[in-house]
Amino acid sequence: QVQLVESGGGLVQAGGSLRLSCAASGTIFSINVMGWYLQGPGNERDLVASISRSGKTDYGDSVKGRFTISRDNAKNTVYLEMNTVKAEDTAVYYCYVKIKRFFYSPETEWWGQGTQVTVSS
């Protein structure tokens, strides 16, 4: 199995900053993509940011220039630096990884339990 432990969510004032972390553990051969998605009430999950093992990043349009994704491959951990947050950033943020559990196995997707981020205006 694979476990994803998220941390760093909470309440923050508009214009402030927050840092999310997600550590993957368990039977893992390699992690290709790591990322974050958000889901507001009644909405689908939307991409916030993703990062490949080589460091290539992709961002949702609403967070470009404000959020920064990074990863520590030695720790199997992905981070999301959230700056200049807005009320519309309020959502549950889910960690997402694409993992090969064994050398011979295909990639599988895993999701964290989600961490609530609430931005007060």
Residue 51: burial class (beta carbons within 10 Å; 0-12, 13-18, 19+) = buried
User: Does the structure show a pLDDT above 90 at 117?
Assistant: yes
pLDDT for the residue 40: 86
Residue for token pair 């993703």: 50
Q: What is the per-residue pLDDT for 22? A: 98
Residue 61's SS3 state is helix
**pLDDT given at position 41:** 82
pLDDT digits (tens, 9 = 90+) for 51-87: 999 999 999 999 999 999 999 999 999 999 999 999 9
The single-letter DSSP state of residue 121 is -
Percent of the chain with pLDDT over 70: 100
pLDDT at 100: 95
Angle (nearest 5°) at CA 83 between 71 and 55: 25
- Residue 104: CB partners within 8 Å, gap ≥ 6? none
Q: How confident is the model at residue 43 (pLDDT cuts 50, 70, 90)?
A: confident
